[in-house]
Each structure stands twice: as C-alpha cells, then as structure tokens.
C-alpha cells in the first residue's frame, strides 16, 4: 500500500511493492495519491506493460536517455530515428524474435554495405541489452541468435603523389579560403594520423609549437592523447591564418569540401580517412609498433597492422636490401 505523508512543501507519496521502493513529493494530496496508484500498477504489471511496448518506443527511449551520454550521440540519434521508421519498429516486444532482426538485416543489405549493417546491428544490440539489463523490459536479446554479415576486406587505398597534386590544384593554395584549408587538413592528417573529427576540433590552446605536440581531448575511443608533430606538420600549422578552431572548419565542412575537391580532380574512391592509412604506413617506417599505436590512438595492435598498415610488397622488398 502507498503511504502519503504531509510535509511543509507538499505531500510525499511512498510505495514499497515487490521489493521496489519509490517516493516523490507532490504539491497536493490528490496528485500524490494518483502518482502512487500509477507507480504501484506499473510495478505489479510491469512485465505485461513492457510486453505491449513497440520496439520503436524502446528506440526512442534509448535515444533520449542513453545516446546523449555518448560521443557518437548525433549518429546514434539519427540512426535510431531511421530504424524507428522501419516496419520492425512496429513489432511489440512480446512478439519480437530473432527472425525479425534477420529479416531486417537481409532487407537492409539490399540498400547499404555490410559494414553499415554491422554498425546498425551493434547499435540495436546495445538497445536490447539496455532494455534487458537496466529497464527489465525483455528477458533476452534476440540479436544474440542473428548472424552478422561478413565483414568486407579492409580498405587498401593510399593517395598517390599525382592525386595529391591534383587535389592541390583544385583546392587552391589560398588558406583564407575554406576549400584550401580542407586540403591543408588532408596534408596535416597524412603527417599525424589524426582523424577528421580530431583535426576539426583542434584548438590553439592544445597545440604547443615549441614542444611539437598537439593534445587531443575528444577522440574516437574516448581516451585523450598527445600527438607528436613532425617538422612538416608544424610548417603546415604555421602557414594557417589565425582561426579558432585551428583549421576553421567543422567536421561536416571538412568532409564536404574535401569531396568537392576530390570530385573536381576526377579522383575515384578516395576518402579523407585514407590519409590515416597513408600516415600510419609512412610512420611505420620510423616508429616501432608500440610508439606508433600510442601516437595514432590504437589499442588493438592486430587492427592497426591488418587494417591500417598498407605498405606495398614492392616497398617491403626494397627494405630487405
């Protein structure tokens, strides 16, 4: 039974049912009684209420309560909104089974690459695990029994010297213009191995030109790191106009402007992120694997070697002599 206590500030409603204890202060006795009745009903009938929830409602709750605490909040929220428009979102939790997710996977593979489907399946699995462990809405995660698409082979794409010159010509060299700075950021990325988001977020307070170090607070894996800067990286920074952040570009602008220059240069299948492959391949000739991993922020040495180190067989052959 609920207990209603009179306070100076209002009325405190307290409930204790099935091991659950909750209390809340309300301005009127009736409001306190109504809240207590509603909460008691939810405690006593929680499983039945949860079973009637649609998967889309769970996506919405996760986007409101969990995603904002993550660095990838914007991507997750957009993705969950899109998933909420798929027919799988209309299925009630009590009816949701592994084959529903398998059907979604097969339909989604007709529209996007396997890597995108894998990322979305990982997101949905996080939603279902939270719904099971923290919210008590489901007894198990059906995605455990759904196989993921086979991962595509790692990209093996490095920019050539000719492509870099074509990009330089199309972007221009006037660093007062955003397009030229986007290409300049690409050159800087090839020196440092920094990701586009890390470069876009770089501010002068975290750059020490004398010690040749850039301090990154917000990184993909959530761990701050300090990036040593080569003489060429320092030269690139000093050539920039006085802007804040350093390159005067958002991540979105950097992506759009780089693509614009790439397309104008008629270069196929090159992304800004390929600069990271180039940097790691070049840096591997100078640094051992552990210092290299520390510099570029990789905790998985296997991925660092297999995915990002793209030394050609011809280059390796020359190192043997």
CA dihedral 298, 299, 304, 307 (to 10 degrees): -90
> Is 220 designated active site?
yes
Is-contact 226 213, C-beta < 8 A? yes
Dihedral sign for Cα atoms in the order 131, 132, 134, 135: positive
Concerning whether 48 is annotated as a catalytic residue, the answer is no
Cis previous bond, 245, omega within 30: yes
Exactly one of 148, 218, 220, 306 is catalytic; name it.
Answer: 220
Helices (runs of H) and strands (runs of E) counted in the chain: 15, 6
Separation of CA 94 from chain center: 30
Place of tokens 């694997």: 289
Which of the following is catalytic: 108, 195, 262, 278? 195
Which residues make Cβ contacts (< 8 Å) with residue 94, sequence separation at least 6? 51, 52
What is the C-alpha to C-alpha distance for residues 263 and 87, in angstroms, rounded to an integer? 36
Does the active-site annotation cover 195?
A: yes
Please identify which residue in the block is written with the tokens 């996977």: 105
- Do the beta carbons of residue 26 and residue 35 sit within 8 Å? yes
* 62 counts as catalytic: no
CB 254 within 8 A of CB 200: yes
Handedness of CA 89, 93, 98, 100 (dihedral sign): negative
Choice among 11, 184, 278, 308 that is catalytic: 308
Number of other residues whose CB lies within 10 A of the CB of residue 105:
21
Alpha-carbon distance 227 to 217, whole Å? 11
Catalytic residue of the set 108, 262, 276, 298:
298
Active site residues: 195, 220, 298, 308
């Amino acid at each position: 039974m609920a207990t209603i206590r009179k306070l100076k500030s209002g009325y405190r409603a307290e409930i204790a049912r099935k091991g659950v204890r909750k209390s809340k202060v309300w301005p009127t006795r009736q409001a306190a009684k109504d809240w207590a009745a509603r909460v008691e009903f939810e405690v006593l009938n929680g499983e039945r209420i949860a079973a009637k929830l649609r998967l889309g409602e769970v996506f919405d709750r996760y986007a409101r309560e969990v995603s904002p605490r993550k660095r990838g909040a914007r991507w997750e929220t957009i993705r969950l909104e899109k998933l909420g428009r798929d027919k799988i979102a209309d299925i009630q939790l009590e009816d949701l089974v592994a084959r529903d997710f398998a059907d979604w996977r097969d339909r989604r593979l007709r529209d996007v690459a396997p890597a995108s489907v894998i990322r979305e399946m990982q997101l949905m699995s996080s939603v279902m695990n939270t719904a099971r462990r923290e919210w008590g809405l489901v007894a198990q995660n059906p995605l455990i029994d759904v196989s993921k698409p086979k991962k595509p082979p790692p990209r093996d794409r490095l920019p050539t010297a000719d492509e870099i010159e074509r990009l330089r010509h199309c972007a221009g060299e006037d660093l007062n213009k955003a397009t030229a700075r986007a290409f300049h950021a690409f050159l800087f990325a090839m020196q440092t191995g920094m990701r586009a988001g890390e470069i876009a977020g770089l501010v002068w307070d975290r750059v020490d030109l004398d010690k040749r170090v850039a301090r990154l607070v917000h990184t993909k894996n959530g761990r701050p790191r300090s990036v040593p800067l080569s003489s060429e990286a320092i030269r690139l920074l000093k050539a920039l106009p006085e802007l804040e952040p350093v390159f005067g570009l958002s991540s979105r602008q950097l992506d759009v402007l780089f693509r614009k220059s790439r397309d104008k240069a008629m270069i196929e299948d090159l992304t800004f992120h390929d600069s990271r492959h180039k940097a790691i391949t070049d840096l591997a000739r100078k640094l051992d694997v552990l210092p290299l991993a520390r510099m570029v922020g990789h905790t998985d040495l296997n991925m660092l070697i297999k995915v990002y180190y793209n030394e050609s067989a011809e280059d390796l052959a020359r190192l043997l002599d």
